[in-house]
Structure 1
């Protein structure tokens, strides 16, 4: 039960810690205001997904997650090439990473719901 509660509180704890770290070390000012909390938060969510999915469900979600993220990258690349007729890696990576954050958060929340319903 402790792992389930920790799994549910993990995103909140990491988010509060990141806000404190960003304020204390002034990371946004060091990177010319380009680095934001969701950019770093995504990495911690992926790490949490790996740890908690392995402990709670005894299988890893990471291969399925990587398949979804790779598919997202392919779709975004095809949209850039077919719709805009050009590819700029900076815009592509920024959009891909921000969409990765939302997908990661949704998958993590689904993992929490599945864990508490069983």
Structure 2
């Protein structure tokens, strides 16, 4: 089972954002300024490091999470959705009047 997946609304928004900004990547925020939400960045503006875990791709874009946060979420599948309203001020979807939202479900035991 995929560790991260996306709704059709999310995939549609990703395509719109890729047309505006080029290649993108996602990083699940662990809190602080923008709470715990999926953040979308131009691919060349986000530095991925050894403390980040690759979860998969949504809409052809890589999706990462911090290793420490992953320890809490490793038993879940992340389902990235989009809802109306303002979200993270650093994420690219903000000016569109919508925000990405992480939903989750527990993965079956392996």
Q: TM-score, normalised by structure 1?
A: 0.30
Q: Judging by fraction of residues, say which structure has more helix.
A: 1
Q: TM-score, normalised by structure 2?
A: 0.32
Question: Which protein has the larger Cα radius of gyration, Structure 1 or Structure 2?
Answer: 1
